[in-house]
Amino acid sequence: MTNEIEQAKIDMAAAFRLAARYKLEEGIDNHFSYAMPGKDERYLFNTYGKHWSKMKASDIIVVDGEGNTIDGKTKVERSAFCIHVPIHKANADARAVFHTHMPYATALSMVADGKLEAAEQNALRFYNDVAYDMEYNGLAHDPAEGWRLAEVMGKNRVLFMANHGVTVVGKTIADTFSDLYFLERACHVQYLAKTWGKLHMVNPQVAHKTKRQFDEEASPYFPMFFDAMKAILDEEEPNYRH
């Protein structure tokens, strides 16, 4: 179990560095968390104040269900605790919870009636698996706001948070990072397409079929994407593992 937890810290550090590389974050802000395997109400979080491009496995802290640091030298950032822990508790499949203000997804959250449209293959990965919160309530400094967001999100993998950003959840760090990356790509190309004109929508039956293909046939390959990304870090920034 110790080895599994240490690997989770390494994977978390890799996810932070890769998010910084691909502009999916805001320096020291935004937050990722992971429910520790085999532990009740023990969560891995990023050290607040450390730039994501410099994150190491040793910077990943362990926090309990009340927000107390169990392992590490810093406290969890308040809004991180208030958003993430209720989502973890409300959805057993949400072992990894990644919240960012990545630009194109966040821009879509600012548009009246903005939705991720079924008009591109990457977007179909999330077909009927997206929730939209239409009520911005300011900084999330109360767990009640996290519980409200968890209710809106339900069992969906993606939550667009009005005027704020997105939250993506998954069973593993690898799958959740992959979803985060391709969600931003889908939002980006949707923006580009709309600058040229009306979107050409995919037939709903085909959209359903493609989503099922992603879930049943393509999903085993999602960890390969994260492993390939980590291989770049292993070559160029191997100190993330320490």
Tell me whether residue 187 is exposed, middle or buried, using C-beta atoms within 10 angstroms of its C-beta: 0 to 12, 13 to 18, 19 or more: buried
What CA–CA distance (Å, rounded) separates 209 from 199? 20
Rounded to 10 degrees, the C-alpha dihedral 8/164/188/55 comes to -30
What CA–CA distance (Å, rounded) separates 196 from 128? 26
- What is the number of H-type helices and E-type strands within the chain? 8, 8
pLDDT tens-digit map of 212-225: 999 999 988 889 99
pLDDT tens-digit map of 158-202: 999 999 999 999 999 999 999 999 999 999 999 999 999 999 999
Cα(first)–Cα(last) distance of the chain, in Å? Answer: 18
Identify the pLDDT of residue 64. 97
Q: Which stretches does DSSP call E strand in the chain? A: 31-35, 42-46, 60-64, 69-71, 96-100, 130-133, 158-161, 165-170
3-state secondary structure of 201: coil
Identify the pLDDT of residue 1. 55
With 0.85 as the threshold, say if the pTM is over it. yes
pLDDT tens-digit map of 39-91: 889 999 999 999 999 999 999 999 999 999 999 989 999 999 999 999 999 99
pLDDT tens-digit map of 138-158: 999 999 999 999 999 999 999
